[in-house]
């Protein structure tokens, strides 16, 4: 039996204060075989990553109790540092600017909401590979956009 701090290499921390969207994303990732931890604000995400190892963090930028950029700063100090995908909604200049800032601060990718579910699954597979024990990839187009 692995030690308590050991996890599957495919565990994903999903961080979003939009509870319905976060749950839909977690359900989608779970259906594709990924282990998902779900939190709804930046401070909870910071607490989680200091106590657990994760393969990938997918985080909203604008959240209460610490935003996605603060989380990104903490992740950069973690060893090993999990990659972060920054996401945010709307097409306004402020959101696009924040996604660009996240990329400059070390986010490996950005996602503008709404996005297609296939885009999310393909991105996760590219960054951390298929989930453990999955031999044939499931069709990422199995549901509507998020």
Assess if residue 41 is contained within a domain.
yes
| 3-state secondary structure string across the chain | CCCCCCCCCCCEEEECCCHHHHHHHHHHHHHCCCCEEEECCHHHHHHHHHHCCCCEEEEECCCCCCCHHHHHHHHHHCCCCCCEEEEEECCCHHHHHHHHHHHHCCCCEEEEECCCHHHHHHHHHHHHCCCCCCCCCCCCCCCCCC
pTM, to two decimals: 0.82
Structural domain including 49 reads 12-128
Asked whether the beta carbons of 58 and 65 are under 8 A apart, the reply is no
| 114 cis-preceded (ω within 30 degrees of 0) | yes
Tell me the average confidence (pLDDT) per consecutive run of 10 residues in the chain, 146 residues long.
42 94 96 95 89 92 84 82 87 71 90 91 95 62 54
- Domain count for the chain, please give it: 1
Which residues share a beta bridge with 78? none
What integer pLDDT is reported at residue 10 of this predicted model? 57
What integer pLDDT is reported at residue 8 of this predicted model? 44
Report CA Rg, the chain: 14
We report the CATH number of the domain holding residue 70 as 3.40.50.2300
Assess if residue 94 is contained within a domain.
yes
Assess if residue 138 is contained within a domain.
no
Residue appearing with tokens 């109790």: 65
What integer pLDDT is reported at residue 5 of this predicted model? 42
């Amino acid at each position: 039996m692995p030690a308590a701090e050991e996890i599957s290499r495919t565990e994903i921390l999903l961080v979003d204060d939009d509870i319905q969207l976060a749950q839909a994303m977690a359900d989608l990732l779970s259906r594709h075989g990924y282990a998902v931890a779900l939190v709804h604000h930046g401070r909870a995400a910071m607490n989680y990553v200091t106590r657990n190892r994760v393969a990938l963090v997918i985080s909203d930028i604008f959240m209460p109790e610490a935003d996605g950029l603060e989380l990104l700063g903490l992740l950069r100090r973690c060893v090993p540092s999990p990659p972060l995908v920054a996401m945010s909604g709307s097409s306004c200049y402020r959101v696009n600017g924040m996604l660009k800032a996240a990329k400059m601060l070390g986010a490996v990718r950005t996602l503008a909401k709404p996005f297609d579910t296939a885009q999310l699954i393909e991105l996760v597979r590219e960054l951390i590979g298929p989930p453990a024990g999955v031999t044939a990839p499931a069709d990422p187009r199995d549901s509507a956009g998020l």
